[in-house]
Amino acid sequence: MGWRVKRSHISEKWFVVFSPPELWDVETARAVGGSILGHIHHHDPRAPKPLVGAAVQQGSVCSLQWSPGEDRLASGSKDGRLSIWDGDFAACKLAKLQRQPLVTMKQPSAVKKQRAMACSCFALFTTVCLVLLYVQSCVCGEAEIFGGKEVKAHSMPYMVLLLHRGQPDCGGTLLSSRWVLTAAHCTDITEVRLGVHSIKKSKNDKSVQVRKVVKTYPHPTYDSYTANHDLQLLKLNQKVKQTKTVKYAPLAKKIPDPRNGTTCLVAGWGLVNDTTKTMSDVLMSAKVDVMGRETCNSSKYWNSAITPDMVCAGPQGKNKTQDTCKGDSGGPLLCNGVQVGVTAFGAKGCRPHKIPGVYTFLSKQHIEWIKETMRKPALSETSATQ
Protein backbone atom coordinates (compact mmCIF):
# COMPACT_ATOMS: atom_id res chain seq x y z
CA MET A 1 0.00 0.00 0.00
CA GLY A 2 3.00 2.27 0.37
CA TRP A 3 1.91 3.78 3.67
CA ARG A 4 4.25 6.09 5.55
CA VAL A 5 4.28 7.03 9.19
CA LYS A 6 2.25 10.15 9.78
CA ARG A 7 0.82 11.33 13.08
CA SER A 8 -1.49 14.27 13.66
CA HIS A 9 -3.26 15.33 16.82
CA ILE A 10 -6.73 16.66 16.03
CA SER A 11 -9.51 17.19 18.55
CA GLU A 12 -7.67 15.12 21.13
CA LYS A 13 -7.49 12.12 18.78
CA TRP A 14 -4.44 10.59 17.12
CA PHE A 15 -4.80 9.72 13.46
CA VAL A 16 -2.10 7.37 12.24
CA VAL A 17 -1.01 6.19 8.82
CA PHE A 18 2.20 4.22 8.46
CA SER A 19 4.52 2.46 6.04
CA PRO A 20 4.00 -1.20 5.03
CA PRO A 21 3.99 -3.18 8.26
CA GLU A 22 5.55 -6.54 8.93
CA LEU A 23 3.65 -9.78 8.51
CA TRP A 24 2.99 -11.90 11.58
CA ASP A 25 1.06 -15.11 12.06
CA VAL A 26 -1.07 -16.30 14.94
CA GLU A 27 -0.16 -19.65 16.47
CA THR A 28 -2.95 -19.69 19.02
CA ALA A 29 -5.60 -17.04 19.39
CA ARG A 30 -8.98 -16.56 20.92
CA ALA A 31 -11.56 -13.86 20.42
CA VAL A 32 -12.15 -11.98 23.64
CA GLY A 33 -14.36 -8.98 22.99
CA GLY A 34 -12.30 -8.04 20.00
CA SER A 35 -8.90 -8.44 21.65
CA ILE A 36 -6.96 -11.31 20.11
CA LEU A 37 -4.45 -12.88 22.46
CA GLY A 38 -1.92 -15.51 21.47
CA HIS A 39 1.62 -16.36 20.45
CA ILE A 40 3.10 -14.71 17.40
CA HIS A 41 5.77 -15.69 14.88
CA HIS A 42 7.85 -13.09 13.11
CA HIS A 43 8.37 -14.04 9.46
CA ASP A 44 11.04 -11.49 8.58
CA PRO A 45 14.13 -11.32 10.84
CA ARG A 46 15.46 -8.46 8.70
CA ALA A 47 12.48 -6.27 9.50
CA PRO A 48 13.21 -2.72 10.68
CA LYS A 49 12.56 -1.47 14.17
CA PRO A 50 8.93 -1.34 15.32
CA LEU A 51 6.76 1.46 14.06
CA VAL A 52 4.39 3.57 16.15
CA GLY A 53 1.91 1.45 18.08
CA ALA A 54 -0.27 1.59 21.15
CA ALA A 55 -1.06 -0.72 24.03
CA VAL A 56 -4.68 -1.40 24.86
CA GLN A 57 -5.40 -0.11 28.35
CA GLN A 58 -7.03 -2.30 30.97
CA GLY A 59 -10.75 -2.64 30.58
CA SER A 60 -10.99 -2.24 26.83
CA VAL A 61 -13.68 -4.54 25.45
CA CYS A 62 -14.41 -4.38 21.74
CA SER A 63 -15.97 -6.74 19.26
CA LEU A 64 -15.21 -6.14 15.61
CA GLN A 65 -16.21 -7.36 12.18
CA TRP A 66 -13.66 -9.96 11.10
CA SER A 67 -13.74 -10.64 7.36
CA PRO A 68 -11.40 -13.44 6.20
CA GLY A 69 -8.88 -12.30 3.63
CA GLU A 70 -8.98 -8.61 4.52
CA ASP A 71 -5.93 -6.79 5.82
CA ARG A 72 -6.05 -5.39 9.33
CA LEU A 73 -3.61 -3.91 11.79
CA ALA A 74 -2.07 -5.67 14.75
CA SER A 75 0.46 -4.90 17.45
CA GLY A 76 2.61 -7.68 18.85
CA SER A 77 4.69 -7.62 22.01
CA LYS A 78 7.45 -9.81 23.43
CA ASP A 79 5.19 -11.32 26.07
CA GLY A 80 3.22 -13.12 23.38
CA ARG A 81 0.19 -10.87 23.23
CA LEU A 82 -1.26 -9.88 19.93
CA SER A 83 -3.97 -7.26 19.45
CA ILE A 84 -5.70 -6.80 16.12
CA TRP A 85 -7.72 -3.81 15.00
CA ASP A 86 -9.68 -2.69 11.99
CA GLY A 87 -11.19 0.71 11.28
CA ASP A 88 -13.93 0.42 13.88
CA PHE A 89 -11.56 0.08 16.78
CA ALA A 90 -10.04 2.75 18.99
CA ALA A 91 -7.66 2.06 21.85
CA CYS A 92 -8.83 4.27 24.68
CA LYS A 93 -7.29 6.09 27.59
CA LEU A 94 -3.74 5.89 26.31
CA ALA A 95 -1.21 7.19 28.79
CA LYS A 96 1.33 7.53 25.97
CA LEU A 97 2.17 6.16 22.58
CA GLN A 98 4.36 3.09 22.85
CA ARG A 99 6.62 1.47 20.31
CA GLN A 100 5.39 -1.90 19.15
CA PRO A 101 5.23 -3.60 15.76
CA LEU A 102 2.23 -2.62 13.68
CA VAL A 103 1.43 -5.41 11.26
CA THR A 104 -1.24 -6.70 8.92
CA MET A 105 -2.89 -10.07 9.24
CA LYS A 106 -3.63 -11.29 5.71
CA GLN A 107 -4.89 -14.73 6.73
CA PRO A 108 -5.52 -14.86 10.47
CA SER A 109 -5.82 -18.62 10.77
CA ALA A 110 -7.21 -18.79 14.29
CA VAL A 111 -9.45 -15.74 14.27
CA LYS A 112 -13.18 -16.44 14.12
CA LYS A 113 -15.50 -14.26 12.08
CA GLN A 114 -17.41 -11.91 14.36
CA ARG A 115 -20.26 -9.50 13.94
CA ALA A 116 -19.70 -5.80 14.46
CA MET A 117 -20.79 -5.36 18.04
CA ALA A 118 -19.19 -3.01 20.44
CA CYS A 119 -16.53 -0.74 21.67
CA SER A 120 -16.97 -0.21 25.38
CA CYS A 121 -13.76 1.30 26.65
CA PHE A 122 -13.70 1.53 30.39
CA ALA A 123 -12.68 5.16 30.84
CA LEU A 124 -14.70 8.33 31.18
CA PHE A 125 -12.19 11.09 31.69
CA THR A 126 -9.03 12.47 30.03
CA THR A 127 -9.44 10.05 27.16
CA VAL A 128 -7.10 10.07 24.19
CA CYS A 129 -7.97 7.74 21.32
CA LEU A 130 -5.59 6.28 18.78
CA VAL A 131 -7.63 5.77 15.63
CA LEU A 132 -6.08 3.60 12.95
CA LEU A 133 -6.32 4.38 9.24
CA TYR A 134 -9.37 6.60 9.24
CA VAL A 135 -11.55 8.68 11.52
CA GLN A 136 -13.82 6.75 13.89
CA SER A 137 -15.51 7.95 17.02
CA CYS A 138 -14.40 6.22 20.19
CA VAL A 139 -17.05 5.09 22.65
CA CYS A 140 -15.48 5.28 26.08
CA GLY A 141 -17.35 4.42 29.22
CA GLU A 142 -19.95 1.94 30.26
CA ALA A 143 -23.59 1.43 30.90
CA GLU A 144 -26.27 4.05 31.02
CA ILE A 145 -30.03 4.01 31.23
CA PHE A 146 -31.47 4.73 27.79
CA GLY A 147 -35.19 4.86 27.09
CA GLY A 148 -36.04 4.28 30.75
CA LYS A 149 -37.96 6.40 33.19
CA GLU A 150 -37.29 8.43 36.31
CA VAL A 151 -37.77 6.38 39.45
CA LYS A 152 -39.86 7.64 42.32
CA ALA A 153 -37.56 9.71 44.53
CA HIS A 154 -35.74 7.55 47.10
CA SER A 155 -37.65 4.41 46.14
CA MET A 156 -34.27 2.70 45.68
CA PRO A 157 -32.49 3.88 48.86
CA TYR A 158 -29.63 1.39 48.44
CA MET A 159 -28.39 3.08 45.24
CA VAL A 160 -24.99 4.75 45.59
CA LEU A 161 -23.49 7.42 43.34
CA LEU A 162 -19.74 6.94 42.85
CA LEU A 163 -17.50 9.91 42.10
CA HIS A 164 -14.17 10.11 40.32
CA ARG A 165 -12.35 13.41 40.90
CA GLY A 166 -15.59 14.93 42.07
CA GLN A 167 -17.54 13.87 38.98
CA PRO A 168 -20.25 11.17 38.73
CA ASP A 169 -18.67 8.04 37.33
CA CYS A 170 -20.44 4.81 38.29
CA GLY A 171 -23.23 3.38 40.38
CA GLY A 172 -23.16 0.92 43.25
CA THR A 173 -25.18 -0.87 45.90
CA LEU A 174 -24.94 -0.20 49.65
CA LEU A 175 -24.53 -3.63 51.26
CA SER A 176 -23.92 -2.52 54.84
CA SER A 177 -22.88 0.49 56.90
CA ARG A 178 -19.39 0.65 55.38
CA TRP A 179 -19.45 -1.45 52.23
CA VAL A 180 -20.48 -0.65 48.65
CA LEU A 181 -20.60 -3.17 45.79
CA THR A 182 -19.70 -1.97 42.30
CA ALA A 183 -17.74 -3.02 39.19
CA ALA A 184 -13.97 -3.54 39.20
CA HIS A 185 -13.51 -1.39 36.11
CA CYS A 186 -14.83 1.62 38.06
CA THR A 187 -11.36 2.72 39.11
CA ASP A 188 -10.09 5.63 41.19
CA ILE A 189 -13.35 6.12 43.07
CA THR A 190 -12.57 8.36 46.03
CA GLU A 191 -16.00 9.49 47.20
CA VAL A 192 -19.59 8.20 47.29
CA ARG A 193 -22.95 9.88 47.85
CA LEU A 194 -25.90 8.12 49.42
CA GLY A 195 -29.56 9.13 49.41
CA VAL A 196 -29.19 10.90 46.06
CA HIS A 197 -32.05 11.33 43.64
CA SER A 198 -31.05 14.55 41.85
CA ILE A 199 -27.31 15.03 41.40
CA LYS A 200 -27.65 18.81 41.14
CA LYS A 201 -29.64 19.06 44.36
CA SER A 202 -27.49 16.56 46.27
CA LYS A 203 -24.83 19.13 47.16
CA ASN A 204 -27.30 21.09 49.28
CA ASP A 205 -29.53 18.21 50.33
CA LYS A 206 -29.05 17.60 54.06
CA SER A 207 -30.41 14.07 53.76
CA VAL A 208 -27.58 13.09 51.41
CA GLN A 209 -24.64 11.37 53.11
CA VAL A 210 -21.13 11.72 51.70
CA ARG A 211 -18.35 9.27 52.51
CA LYS A 212 -14.75 8.85 51.44
CA VAL A 213 -13.41 5.56 50.10
CA VAL A 214 -10.54 4.34 52.27
CA LYS A 215 -9.84 1.06 50.52
CA THR A 216 -10.84 -0.69 47.31
CA TYR A 217 -11.12 -4.44 46.86
CA PRO A 218 -11.38 -5.50 43.21
CA HIS A 219 -12.13 -9.19 42.78
CA PRO A 220 -8.79 -11.06 42.92
CA THR A 221 -9.42 -12.86 39.62
CA TYR A 222 -10.89 -9.90 37.73
CA ASP A 223 -9.68 -10.04 34.13
CA SER A 224 -9.78 -6.69 32.37
CA TYR A 225 -9.41 -8.33 28.95
CA THR A 226 -12.38 -10.66 29.27
CA ALA A 227 -14.24 -8.54 31.86
CA ASN A 228 -14.77 -11.72 33.86
CA HIS A 229 -15.36 -11.33 37.63
CA ASP A 230 -15.94 -7.59 37.17
CA LEU A 231 -16.72 -6.91 40.83
CA GLN A 232 -15.31 -4.56 43.44
CA LEU A 233 -16.00 -3.69 47.06
CA LEU A 234 -15.44 -0.19 48.44
CA LYS A 235 -14.72 0.33 52.14
CA LEU A 236 -16.01 3.67 53.45
CA ASN A 237 -14.23 5.89 55.95
CA GLN A 238 -17.14 5.90 58.40
CA LYS A 239 -20.45 4.18 58.90
CA VAL A 240 -23.51 5.18 56.93
CA LYS A 241 -26.67 5.94 58.87
CA GLN A 242 -29.87 4.23 57.72
CA THR A 243 -32.62 6.78 57.12
CA LYS A 244 -35.75 7.07 55.00
CA THR A 245 -33.56 7.81 51.98
CA VAL A 246 -30.58 5.57 52.76
CA LYS A 247 -30.91 1.84 53.40
CA TYR A 248 -28.80 -1.29 53.09
CA ALA A 249 -29.49 -4.00 50.53
CA PRO A 250 -27.87 -7.15 51.95
CA LEU A 251 -27.24 -9.88 49.40
CA ALA A 252 -29.31 -13.04 49.43
CA LYS A 253 -27.59 -16.18 50.74
CA LYS A 254 -28.18 -17.87 47.41
CA ILE A 255 -28.98 -16.15 44.15
CA PRO A 256 -30.67 -18.19 41.42
CA ASP A 257 -29.39 -17.92 37.88
CA PRO A 258 -32.08 -15.85 36.10
CA ARG A 259 -33.91 -17.76 33.40
CA ASN A 260 -34.12 -16.77 29.77
CA GLY A 261 -36.88 -14.21 29.25
CA THR A 262 -36.95 -13.02 32.86
CA THR A 263 -37.71 -9.29 33.04
CA CYS A 264 -35.26 -7.48 35.30
CA LEU A 265 -34.58 -3.90 36.37
CA VAL A 266 -31.46 -1.76 36.06
CA ALA A 267 -30.94 1.74 37.46
CA GLY A 268 -28.47 4.59 37.44
CA TRP A 269 -27.63 8.20 36.61
CA GLY A 270 -25.94 7.44 33.29
CA LEU A 271 -26.38 9.09 29.92
CA VAL A 272 -29.87 9.56 28.59
CA ASN A 273 -28.81 10.97 25.24
CA ASP A 274 -26.03 9.42 23.14
CA THR A 275 -25.85 12.52 20.95
CA THR A 276 -25.31 15.23 23.54
CA LYS A 277 -23.53 12.82 25.94
CA THR A 278 -25.44 14.28 28.87
CA MET A 279 -25.89 12.26 32.02
CA SER A 280 -29.19 12.08 33.79
CA ASP A 281 -29.59 14.44 36.72
CA VAL A 282 -32.08 12.09 38.38
CA LEU A 283 -32.00 8.37 39.05
CA MET A 284 -33.43 6.43 36.11
CA SER A 285 -34.49 2.81 35.71
CA ALA A 286 -35.13 0.51 32.77
CA LYS A 287 -36.54 -2.95 32.23
CA VAL A 288 -34.38 -5.51 30.41
CA ASP A 289 -35.02 -9.13 29.51
CA VAL A 290 -32.53 -11.91 30.26
CA MET A 291 -31.06 -13.80 27.31
CA GLY A 292 -29.77 -17.33 27.87
CA ARG A 293 -25.97 -17.71 27.82
CA GLU A 294 -25.99 -20.19 24.95
CA THR A 295 -27.86 -17.76 22.73
CA CYS A 296 -25.87 -14.77 23.98
CA ASN A 297 -22.63 -16.64 23.21
CA SER A 298 -23.61 -17.33 19.61
CA SER A 299 -21.89 -15.59 16.71
CA LYS A 300 -24.98 -13.42 16.35
CA TYR A 301 -24.29 -11.75 19.68
CA TRP A 302 -21.18 -11.96 21.90
CA ASN A 303 -19.48 -14.86 20.12
CA SER A 304 -18.10 -16.99 22.99
CA ALA A 305 -17.14 -14.01 25.17
CA ILE A 306 -19.78 -14.78 27.83
CA THR A 307 -18.71 -16.88 30.81
CA PRO A 308 -20.83 -18.68 33.43
CA ASP A 309 -20.11 -15.69 35.69
CA MET A 310 -21.97 -13.30 33.38
CA VAL A 311 -25.62 -12.59 32.65
CA CYS A 312 -26.90 -11.17 29.37
CA ALA A 313 -29.92 -8.87 29.45
CA GLY A 314 -31.17 -6.28 27.04
CA PRO A 315 -33.99 -4.82 24.96
CA GLN A 316 -36.22 -7.71 23.97
CA GLY A 317 -39.93 -8.46 23.92
CA LYS A 318 -41.93 -5.63 25.48
CA ASN A 319 -38.76 -3.77 26.51
CA LYS A 320 -37.26 -3.06 23.08
CA THR A 321 -36.93 0.67 23.76
CA GLN A 322 -34.94 0.40 27.00
CA ASP A 323 -31.34 -0.55 27.62
CA THR A 324 -28.12 0.27 29.45
CA CYS A 325 -25.03 1.93 28.01
CA LYS A 326 -22.58 4.48 29.47
CA GLY A 327 -22.25 5.89 32.98
CA ASP A 328 -24.05 3.37 35.18
CA SER A 329 -21.48 0.62 35.44
CA GLY A 330 -21.44 -1.00 38.84
CA GLY A 331 -25.16 -0.55 39.38
CA PRO A 332 -27.43 -3.49 40.25
CA LEU A 333 -29.30 -5.88 37.99
CA LEU A 334 -32.47 -6.73 39.91
CA CYS A 335 -34.59 -9.75 39.00
CA ASN A 336 -37.75 -10.46 41.00
CA GLY A 337 -36.61 -7.90 43.57
CA VAL A 338 -33.24 -9.59 44.16
CA GLN A 339 -29.87 -8.28 43.01
CA VAL A 340 -28.45 -10.95 40.73
CA GLY A 341 -25.76 -8.98 38.96
CA VAL A 342 -23.63 -5.86 38.55
CA THR A 343 -23.60 -3.82 35.34
CA ALA A 344 -20.41 -4.58 33.42
CA PHE A 345 -20.35 -3.66 29.71
CA GLY A 346 -22.48 -3.29 26.62
CA ALA A 347 -22.48 -2.79 22.88
CA LYS A 348 -21.44 0.34 21.00
CA GLY A 349 -23.86 3.23 21.14
CA CYS A 350 -26.64 3.96 23.56
CA ARG A 351 -29.76 3.42 21.55
CA PRO A 352 -31.39 0.05 22.16
CA HIS A 353 -30.25 -2.59 19.68
CA LYS A 354 -30.19 -6.34 19.40
CA ILE A 355 -26.95 -6.89 21.33
CA PRO A 356 -27.73 -7.42 25.04
CA GLY A 357 -25.81 -5.78 27.85
CA VAL A 358 -23.57 -7.91 30.05
CA TYR A 359 -23.69 -8.11 33.84
CA THR A 360 -21.46 -9.87 36.34
CA PHE A 361 -23.51 -12.68 37.88
CA LEU A 362 -23.44 -12.85 41.68
CA SER A 363 -22.63 -16.54 41.82
CA LYS A 364 -22.14 -18.57 44.97
CA GLN A 365 -18.38 -18.06 44.71
CA HIS A 366 -18.82 -14.31 44.27
CA ILE A 367 -21.08 -14.07 47.31
CA GLU A 368 -18.54 -16.01 49.38
CA TRP A 369 -15.79 -13.61 48.29
CA ILE A 370 -17.97 -10.60 49.16
CA LYS A 371 -18.75 -11.92 52.64
CA GLU A 372 -15.13 -12.88 53.30
CA THR A 373 -13.88 -9.46 52.18
CA MET A 374 -16.40 -7.63 54.34
CA ARG A 375 -15.09 -9.53 57.37
CA LYS A 376 -11.58 -8.18 56.87
CA PRO A 377 -10.23 -6.19 59.85
CA ALA A 378 -9.98 -2.43 59.53
CA LEU A 379 -6.21 -2.13 59.13
CA SER A 380 -4.23 0.49 57.22
CA GLU A 381 -7.25 2.27 55.87
CA THR A 382 -6.12 5.85 56.16
CA SER A 383 -6.11 6.50 52.43
CA ALA A 384 -7.81 5.15 49.35
CA THR A 385 -6.14 2.32 47.50
CA GLN A 386 -5.65 3.29 43.89
Residues with active-site annotation: 185, 230, 329
The helix/strand/coil state of 369 is: helix
Q: Which residues pair with 38 in a beta bridge?
A: 29
| Non-local CB neighbours of 48 within 8 Å, separated by 6+ positions | none
Going through 105-236 in order, the beta strands assigned E by DSSP cover: 118-121, 129-132, 145-146, 149-150, 159-164, 167-174, 179-182, 191-194, 209-218, 232-236
The percent of the chain in helix, strand and coil, each rounded to the nearest 5, is 5, 40, 55
| Non-local CB neighbours of 302 within 8 Å, separated by 6+ positions | 33, 63, 117, 296, 312, 355, 356, 358
What is the rounded CA–CA span in Å between residue 128 and residue 60?
A: 13
CB-CB neighbours of 26 under 10 Å:
22
| Non-local CB neighbours of 319 within 8 Å, separated by 6+ positions | 263, 286, 287, 288, 289
199 phi, psi to nearest 5 deg:
-65, -45
What is the rounded CA–CA span in Å between residue 18 and residue 324?
A: 37
Sheet arrangement for strand 6-10: 6-10, 13-17, 129-132, 90-91
